[in-house]
């Protein structure tokens, strides 16, 4: 007898379509889901650079002491920065290349400030996996194209710090900078 009664009850509920309980279920689970997502956000974003890391200092570099053909390593955002005083020959070598043949096509002009073609300022971070290429220090290997050479996986950069050979996909990054005087730049 009892089962019969239950059976008819169930049918009756189904006939009413959506039950009150279905609505409560969906509402509660959705609410918990949204709450879960909201909690996920701080858990993930805490990994991003903190305010002190982001408070990126700018870097000033004095160019007066860098003679032609010389380059120095400075520090910008706790990463190395290459400042290079190109020789006429190095400029000519860079200009002689047809940009269309390059992996990351750019002319030397596009990578320096107008009228300051001899100053090549780039990050010292290989665009492959982030090693510091050689070639900015005295007597270091400048690679097959006379610019920079990354020893980690053998990327060769030319005298405009453009990628020419090896696994790196991009030219060395040119950061934002301005000439504050004829012999000084402000990076960042």
Q: Which residues bind another protein (CB under 8 A)?
A: 44, 47-50, 53, 73, 75, 77-80, 100, 103, 125, 127-134, 150-154, 165-169
Q: Contact between 129 and ligand FES (CB under 6 A)? A: yes
| Given 84, 111, 128, 164, the residue binding ligand FES (CB under 6 A) | 128
Question: Is 13 a residue of the active site?
Answer: no
**Binding site partner of 53, from another protein, ligand FES, none, Cβ cut-off 5-8 A by kind:** another protein
Q: Is the sign of the CA dihedral 105, 146, 82, 70 positive or negative?
A: negative
CA pair distance 108, 92, nearest whole angstrom: 10
Q: Contact between 171 and ligand FES (CB under 6 A)? A: no
DSSP annotation of 146: E
Instruction: Choose the stretch contacting ligand FES; rule: CB under 6 A; options: 7-15, 69-77, 151-159, 170-178.
Output: 151-159
Task: Give the pair of three-digit tokens for residue 8.
Answer: 């008819």
CA pair distance 118, 100, nearest whole angstrom: 22
Cβ-based nearer residue to ligand FES, 45 or 78? 78
Q: With CA atoms as reference, report the closest residue to 172 among 100, 92, 93, 84.
A: 84
CA pair distance 19, 175, nearest whole angstrom: 62
| Catalytic positions, written as ranges | 153
* Chain residues that interact with ligand FES, rule: CB under 6 A: 126, 128-131, 150, 152-155, 166-168
């Amino acid at each position: 007898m009892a089962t019969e009664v239950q059976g008819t009850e169930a049918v009756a509920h189904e006939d009413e379509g959506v039950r009150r309980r279905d609505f409560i279920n969906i509402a509660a689970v959705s609410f918990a889901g949204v709450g879960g997502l909201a909690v996920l956000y701080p858990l993930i974003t805490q990994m991003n650079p903190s305010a002190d890391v982001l408070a990126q200092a700018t870097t000033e570099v004095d160019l007066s002491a860098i003679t032609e053909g010389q380059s120095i390593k400075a520090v910008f955002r706790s990463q190395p920065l290459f400042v290079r005083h190109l020789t006429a020959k190095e400029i000519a070598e860079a200009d002689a290349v047809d940009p269309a043949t390059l992996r990351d096509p750019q002319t030397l002009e596009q990578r320096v400030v107008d009228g300051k073609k001899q100053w090549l300022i780039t990050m010292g971070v290989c665009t492959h996996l982030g090693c510091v290429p050689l070639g900015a220090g005295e007597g270091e290997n400048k690679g097959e194209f006379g610019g920079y050479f990354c020893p980690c996986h053998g990327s060769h950069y030319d005298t405009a710090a453009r990628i020419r050979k090896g696994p790196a996909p991009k030219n060395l990054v040119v950061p934002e900078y301005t000439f504050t005087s004829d012999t000084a730049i402000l990076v960042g």
